[in-house]
Structure 1
């Protein structure tokens, strides 16, 4: 699996974009906060200015009132009372404005209350001293006390105003320091945040650029794959289609049109348009198969015929499987192949098999007739030869006697050939029953069949104990008989035949001769003799039908015996091999599968 680093993933790009959006929102938040602080600071400055102005107004109004009142005392001119009379209304107006400006400052509200009391005290003192002025009692001790008290109240008002001035300016300085601190920090913070944002955007841009290159490369690969798929469809004679079930929309590949004998995308891809090509005899079956598409996840392989516009009939095979898209919509993707050559090949093969079966039956009948029907005239020939030899034998000339012996020998060989053909024909019969049998018993039965020639040649036969195996009984006994007969027949003159039989159970992968074996375990039976042997180059030839390595005058035989052995071993899905050396002997190795 290809290793994928974090910065190469799409999730990493999403994280960067989200971080960038967060930073932008953060900058917006701080900007809003900074503007709000600036607005608050501006409002504080304006409010402080207004408070100071109103305080100045109060002090100024009271000074004017005091100055006018003193001039009135000195001149007794009522014109000087005008500032005094207007001051009360103006001072009250300023007090109302101050209450609104300092409503959020409890300390200033307390200071304003004190200032209000002092102001009221001042006007009360003006009112009391005015009585003395009207009565011309300004030289009395009581008037001087009130006049002195007026000065004290004015000084107290002035001090209280200064206290409120100082407190307001102090608050203003504190807020200005905070604003200046924020003003100094904000540019640095904005620059840092913008720098980080720029870095993130550069990283995101780089990632997007890399992704675009990868997407372009993938698109190139997809184009190559698409073209390769088109070529594969053309070569493989198949086409693809997709059915969007919910929207009932079909999509056909170009080669599917070609399978129908049409140009790519030459008609609208719909179910009804496709049905126009289906063979009428296959229409019902084809429709039923397609009805199963929506109900089942997979559509079994369905075969049907189509008729192209030029009249050609093609055999098609279709397979489909459903799947769900990322948005949950069900779709069916299918593959349609042109199997015309396969179907025609199968039909041709079936026809050939039928012909071969008929030929085999005819050959079997001919073989049976030839083998059995020839025996009757052959028996008559042998009988007449025997009678002719008994009754007229002494009347033959030497050449006549020689001709008679040749006729007799030919008839005997004909008898052997017919018997061997019958045996070979039996090995080809289909009714072969496999039975679990003791091979030692079958081998003893074969020895009994050959008992006369064994005694005649004084042959020595030794061997290992053979296993119990599942075999066709009469064929395995025939196999043993033929191998014994072969060893006895081709023994050397004036040499006692020695035949050894060895057995072992072997694994196929441990035997050099069993490279292409289909089973894993085999019974290995080896026949070894000390006869005339044969050249190793003839090892395959000796198993061929009617094949002989020796002159028929030297050794009797028809060339069928070993062919029968090969056929019997083949019937048991086994193997037989032969090895020989001239005047040393022959070895036959048999492998029978362990069932």
Structure 2
């Protein structure tokens, strides 16, 4: 009973498997080794005998040629020339056979070269002797000389053939010794091979047993992972599908059915069954993208509409890629996500963006038109005020004159405000045509434009050599004008104005003022405007660039709060940055960074 149980156990089958493999390896190894050795030995012996036979035939053909030559020389009977003439082809064929048989022996190939030299020499002198006797008055001494050389050459041929036979005999002895040596160590090699084989089979069995245990654990893990994936699909609102490219079959996950409003596995998974849920207007689009599954490795994401079983329209997004499973089959795996909320949010954003763009265009138009339309009544006010001051100012009472002065002052501020608004509008909507701009020329034009104010303030303005780069010339001139005017305006009383302009190059990584989002290797032109004016509190360093923002009362300093906002916009139009630093009563520093474009 115990034996029967052992016989039926998997252990018994494993032992039989190991023994069978060991026996097959042993028998196969021994048989293969002996057959290989015997075959080589047989080939060696056969070739050696073949070489000896052909060498004997070769010398026999040469002897026949020599005998035929002698018979012809003695009798002048041309029948004796027949073996002589036939020997040339026979010698050639025999020599080629020997060469073929000894092609793997360098020594014999070297001997054959010498033998060929002697054979050619022998045949030449045989032919030469026959040629001499054709002449009735031939020189007998020369003929005798040729015959002697021919006999010596024949001796050399015999000697060379004997040397080749001896060499072949040595090779045969060497090969026989090699065969005996091989047969001596073959059993040891067989047993070593057997031991290694058994060891490898044992290792393979151990690994197979471990893999089996690991496989069980993996199956358990995959079962848990599959359930977790099903739960993740439910929570994440997506489904998965597989398409076997070889079998052309689909597989849907449970949640793929739920996304369609159906019970899991309620219908057979296929392309046609899925198309029934696709919105009629999107069916052709989905089919066109699905064709790519047959030829592309990756399925790019695309969005389409479906009509659920309950009639609700939802937006789906599909994507996938090809994977090669261990069985060799190519399978497309993909996911289907319900992106209805995302699409609706995007549509809402696009609608709001269009509304915002429309509002922005209306605002720009309003700003431009209002600024222009305001100039006409302002021009009339200024005209009538000018006439009133010219003709009737002295007739007005003191309070009336004050009123007129206040109206003139207000009209002047309105004029400046309108001009600044126009300038800001132009900066925002003007065409951004870049051209090579020499900042030194720009600075020179600005200084000429501001010459009266500079002279009135007794200002000293110094500058480094400024760079030349692609820019919008009129905007750069406006930038320089505003910054220098700002320094002249906010100067100290009873103190000469000093404005220093410096220019260097820098990289973003070495400048803390440039945002971290800028790549560190980018080069920038750094231009600094430093003055010795009244300065300002550093906490207002960013606020001063905001439109209509003023740090001082209009009665203290004139201005509209637009100039620095224009500067910021101009620098941004050039993809640069502007930074303000200041100390109260010590001065202000405006640093402008322009990118160095390659």
Task: Check 1:248–1:380 CA distance in 2 against 1; reply closer, same or farther (3 A cut).
Answer: same
Equivalent residue in structure 1 for 2:531, among 511, 529, 532 = 529
Cα displacement (A) at 1:312: 1.9
CA distance in 2, matches of 1:302, 1:462: 61
Give runs of aligned pairs for residues 293-372 of structure 1, distance below 5 A. 293-372=293-372
- Counterpart of 1:524 in 2: which secondary structure? strand
Q: Is the 8 A contact 2:278 2:306 kept in 1?
A: yes
Deviates more, 1:462-471 or 1:15-24: 15-24
The separation in 1 between residues aligned to 2:202 and 2:430, in whole angstroms, is: 83
Q: How much is the aligned-residue C-alpha RMSD, in angstroms?
A: 2.9
Q: Note the C-alpha offset of 1:20.
A: 4.4
Instruction: Find out whether 1:284 has 2:279 as its counterpart.
Output: no
Kindly state the Cα deviation for residue 215 of structure 1 after the two structures are TM-superposed: 2.7
Distance in 2 of aligned mates of 1:386 and 1:556:
22
1:5-16 correspondence runs (5 A): none
Match of 1:487 in 2: 487
Q: Pick the structure with greater CA Rg.
A: 1
What's 1:119 paired with? none
Unaligned stretches of 5+ residues in structure 2: 1-13, 29-193
Alpha-carbon distance, 1:470 to partner: 1.2
Counterpart contact for 1:525–1:589, Cα < 8 Å: yes
For 2:453 and 2:201, the matched residues in 1 are separated by 105
Q: In the alignment, is residue 412 of structure 1 matched against residue 431 of structure 2?
A: no
Query: Which residue is equivalent to 1:211?
Result: 211
Q: State the partner residue of 1:575.
A: 577
TM-score (norm 1): 0.65
**Which residue does the alignment assign to 1:403?**
403
| Counterpart contact for 1:509–1:515, Cα < 8 Å | no
Is 1:381 matched with 2:381?
Answer: yes
Change (3 A) 1:424 1:212: same
Secondary structure of 1:354 counterpart? helix
The separation in 1 between residues aligned to 2:235 and 2:572, in whole angstroms, is 40
- Aligned residue number for residue 558 of structure 1: 560
Secondary structure in 2 matching 1:452: helix
2:500–2:531 CA contact under 8 A, matched in 1: yes
Aligned to 2:139: none
Where 1:553 maps in the other structure, the secondary structure is: coil
| Helix, strand or coil at the partner of 1:359 | helix
Could you tell me how far 1:25 is from its partner in structure 2? Answer: 6.9
Distance 1:418 1:256, change over 3 A: same
Q: Which string of whole-angstrom CA distances, capped at 9 and with x for unpartnered residues, describes residues 408-439 of structure 1?
A: 11111111110110111111115211222111
| Cross-structure match for 2:391 | 391
Displacement of 1:226 in angstroms is: 2.8
Write out per-residue CA displacement over residues 487-546 of structure 1, whole angstroms, 9 at most, x where no aligned residue. Answer: 001011111111000111101101111242424111100000011000111111111111
1:359-412 C-alpha deviation (Å, 9 max, x unpaired): 122111111111000001001111111211222212222222222221111111
Give 1:126-525 correspondences, 5 Å limit: 207=207, 210-429=210-429, 431-519=431-519, 520-525=522-527
Return closer, same or farther for 1:430/1:249 CA change in 2, 3 Å cut-off: farther
Whether the 8 Å CA contact 1:16–1:204 is kept in 2: the answer is: no
Alignment match of 1:541 (pick from 537, 540, 543): 543
The answer for the alignment partner of 1:43 in structure 2 is none
> Would the alpha carbon gap of residues 408 and 296 (structure 1) be closer, same or farther in structure 2, given more than 3 Å must change?
same
Report if aligned partners of 1:16, 1:200 keep a CA contact under 8 Å in 2: no
Three-state SS of the structure 2 residue aligned to 1:533 is coil
Q: Deviations over 1:181-229 (max 9, x none)?
A: xxxxxxxxxxxx9xx99x9999777655543443344334434433443
**Matched residue SS, 1:588:** strand
Does the CA-based 8 Å contact 2:528-2:591 persist in structure 1?
A: yes
**Counterpart in the other structure of 1:21:** 20
Q: Structure 1 stretch 272-281 or stretch 387-396: which is displaced more?
A: 387-396
Q: Structure 1: state its 5+ residue gaps.
A: 1-14, 30-192
Match of 1:173 in 2: none
CA contact (8 A) 1:20 1:200 kept: no
Residues 522 and 594, structure 1, Cα contact 8 Å, conserved in 2: yes
Q: Deviations over 1:303-356 (max 9, x none)?
A: 321011222212222223334544444432222222323322332222122212
List per-residue Cα deviations over 1:142-192 (Å, max 9, x = no partner).
Answer: xxxxxxxxxxxxxxxxxxxxxxxxxxxxxxxxxxxxxxxxxxxxxxxxxxx
1:109-124 aligned within 5 A: none
Kindly state the Cα deviation for residue 475 of structure 1 after the two structures are TM-superposed.
Answer: 1.1
Distance 1:433 1:234, change over 3 A: farther
* Structure 1: distance between partners of 2:508 and 2:415: 41
Asked if the contact 2:18/2:201 (under 8 Å) is kept, the reply is: no
**CA shift in 2, pair 1:558/1:511, >3 Å:** same
- Distance of 1:16 and 1:506 partners within structure 2: 79
- The alpha-carbon distance between structure 1 residues 505 and 394, as it changes in their structure 2 partners (threshold 3 A), is same
Q: When the two structures are aligned, how many residues end up with a matched partner?
A: 416
Structure 2 distance, partners of 1:27, 1:287, is: 61
Structure 1 pair 200–350 and aligned structure 2 pair: CA distance change class (3 A): closer
Spell out, residue by residue over 1:555-595, the C-alpha distance to the aligned partner (whole angstroms, 9 max, x if none). 00000000111111111111111011111100001111111
Partner of 1:125: none
Distance 1:467 1:26 in 2: 85
CA distance in 1, matches of 2:371, 2:589: 32
Q: 1:404 to 1:249 in 2, by over 3 A?
A: same
